[in-house]
Structure 1
Amino acid sequence: MADKKEILRLQELAHQARYDLCNLCGSYGGNIHMGGDMSMIDVLTCLFQHTMRVAPELQEDPERDRFILSKGHGAACMYIVMALKGFFDYKEICETYGQIGSKYGQHPCKTRLPMLEASTGSLGHGLPISVGLAASARQRGQKHRVFCMMGDGETCEGSVWEAAMAGRAQKLGNLVAVVDRNRQLMTSFSEESVIMEPYADKWRAFGWNVIEIRDGNDMSQIVEAFDGLPKSSGEVPTVIIANTVKGKYVSFMERQIKWHAGSLNETDLQTALKDLDTALEKQRKEL
């Protein structure tokens, strides 16, 4: 388990990512998928800053880990987390995000950003692609992992479960699915539209190793979960189910359906930044 110094480092990076995301949303003329970005930002921070073997200088390394953002509407969050790792320039993201010809579209585009593994946005595609990448790595004798971030609503797609069957059949212990389980869809709470519980048992029924994070916005729990991954040489793929809160740490966003996507005026921006500072101070005291 990571020590307190590492947990604090990751908490502060996640705080900076939220700050940067809010400032982007405040300067952008359209809507950004803030709710889901805020729910998954802690997990993404842990992945890029602690768990995965990735860095700009490793792009040509065949043994670097792979990451696919299957919930492609969370692109802004991914760009910012990757910027903190040195992949992108935050100023450029703010100046060009969502514009015609920009590298930083509202969904990730591999043509514009060749360091990405895939263009995503149409839900249900990421896990099938990840199965292919993991199977290819096995055939080549490579030891790296393939991580795929999905939203829980996305797992209503049949292609996800076809991929889950294929991943187990191919004995892909190098494959890790991560589910941002915030229990909200675009226009409703997930259990109001599709009964997904018992959610973890569905993955177990498909033969996957299941790791549940009770609070997927608590960095200590997140680090413990990812540090506890079995060896990639195993034969069973793993799903990490992170129980998160949509709009986490911003008072007027948390669990609010209308904040699936939105924009921030100056008053809302200052309130959000104040909320984030308060949350970080509380985290520091509790650590």
Structure 2
Amino acid sequence: MLKNDLVDTIREKALWMRRRAFTMVHDAQLGHPGGDFSAIDIIATLYFGVMRYDPKKPDMPERDRFIMSKGHATGALYTALCAAGYYPEDWLKTYMQPQSKLNGHPNRNYLPGVETNTGPLGHGLPVALGIAIAGQMTGSDYRTFVLTGDGELQEGSNWEAAMSAGNRKLGKFTLIVDRNRLQQGMGTEETNGLDPLDDKFRAFGWDVEVIDGHDVGALVNALSEPPGGRSKPLCIIANTIKGKGVSFMENKASWHHGVPNAEQYNTAMEELV
């Protein structure tokens, strides 16, 4: 697929994911739409432009692995898995309903395509590190991707994992930081400052790229494996906007776990075109 066609396809998938995720949150009156919307372009790029997988064989050994460490953003993950063909669209209507497979946090025991259960922040990066080390030890060529929130990096376990990844020179390991600068209640820098985040990861032995997390072309370039591979793990700091795409949600900490009323839902659907 030509790059321009690929970018257009990813953008179309991301728009569908936003509309579907917001409908899920509206119908359930539960969810985390702000973080869903900051991450959707990243996740759409991974699933529809970068990763190797087969929804008919979700456990095939050669698949690339994706760990959704910011596990509260299930609207983004579930819509991606659905659009990728892991399960039918009707399942999305059951989001957070009693006995639904689509819990508030992803559970690999219920859903194909989920590599590990996540939700408690700070756990996804260490788990992904273990997966990447296993690939290195067995000589496998799969890639391991993990998406964290930026507020999540205030958890110390992430930095233990970052130090180990740099030391082991895990060239097939990629961390994407959803850098929307907002966490529950306030800004990340007001809570426990992270900057200069890029220099921190370089000091731990990582390659680092800082990009616009809503620029699909830039995401494709950054996430694609270069010829000859890498000799270090890669950290992509993706500058994003919480609530991206809906005017009344953008850059509002209250939409970390806000849910729309009928009027807000209709306004969002008019804007998401």
Aligned to 1:11: 11
Q: How does 1:52-91 map to 2 (within 5 A)?
A: 52-91=51-90
Distance 2:214 2:138 in 1: 36
Distance 1:120 1:19 in 2: 24
Please identify, of 97-106 and 145-154, the stretch whose mean Cα deviation from structure 2 is larger.
97-106
Structure 1 residue ranges (4+ consecutive) displaced by more than 6 angstroms after TM superposition: none
Q: Tell me if structure 1 keeps the 8 A contact 2:105–2:118.
A: yes
Aligned to 2:130: 132
Distance 2:216 2:133 in 1: 30
Distance 1:252 1:193 in 2: 24
Report how far residue 3 of structure 1 moved.
Answer: 2.5
Alpha carbons of structure 1 residues 190 and 89: separation in structure 2 relative to 1, 3 Å: same
User: Given the alignment of the two structures, is residue 253 of structure 1 paired with residue 249 of structure 2, yes or no?
Assistant: yes
Q: 1:170 aligns with which of 168, 171, 176?
A: 168
Q: Percent sequence identity over matched residues?
A: 40
Alpha carbons of structure 1 residues 65 and 92: separation in structure 2 relative to 1, 3 Å: same
Name the aligned partner's letter for residue 10 of structure 1: I
Partner SS for 1:176:
strand
Q: Deviations over 1:203-226 (max 9, x none)?
A: 11111010111x211212212222
Q: 1:203 aligns with which of 198, 201, 204?
A: 201
Q: How does 1:1-287 map to 2 (within 5 A)?
A: 3-28=3-28, 30-94=29-93, 96-213=94-211, 215-227=212-224, 229-230=225-226, 234-277=230-273
Report how far residue 233 of structure 1 moved.
Answer: 5.3
TM-score with structure 1 setting the length: 0.91
Partner SS for 2:272:
helix
Please identify, of 39-48 and 231-240, the stretch whose mean Cα deviation from structure 2 is larger.
231-240
Q: Tell me if structure 1 keeps the 8 A contact 2:25–2:75.
A: no
Partner SS for 1:131:
helix
TM-score with structure 2 setting the length: 0.95
Q: Deviations over 1:106-147 (max 9, x none)?
A: 001112125321100000011111111111111111001010
Report how far residue 231 of structure 1 moved.
Answer: 5.8
Q: Which segments of 5 or more consecutive residues in structure 2 lack a partner in the other structure?
A: none
Please identify, of 60-69 and 144-153, the stretch whose mean Cα deviation from structure 2 is larger.
60-69
Q: What is the Cα-based RMSD across aligned positions, in Å?
A: 1.6
Q: Tell me if structure 2 keeps the 8 A contact 1:179–1:242.
A: yes
Alpha carbons of structure 1 residues 39 and 152: separation in structure 2 relative to 1, 3 Å: same
Q: Tell me if structure 2 keeps the 8 A contact 1:71–1:121.
A: yes
Q: Tell me if structure 2 keeps the 8 A contact 1:143–1:233.
A: no
Alpha carbons of structure 1 residues 232 and 60: separation in structure 2 relative to 1, 3 Å: farther
Q: Which segments of 5 or more consecutive residues in structure 1 lack a partner in the other structure?
A: 278-287
Q: Tell me if structure 2 keeps the 8 A contact 1:33–1:261.
A: yes
Q: Tell me if structure 2 keeps the 8 A contact 1:173–1:231.
A: no
Q: Tell me if structure 1 keeps the 8 A contact 2:86–2:112.
A: no
Q: Tell me if structure 1 keeps the 8 A contact 2:54–2:60.
A: no
Alpha carbons of structure 1 residues 31 and 206: separation in structure 2 relative to 1, 3 Å: same
Q: Tell me if structure 1 keeps the 8 A contact 2:106–2:119.
A: yes
Partner SS for 2:73:
helix
Q: Deviations over 1:208-264 (max 9, x none)?
A: 010111x2112122122223x446854311111100000001011000111011222
Count residues in correspondence.
273
Distance 1:140 1:3 in 2: 33
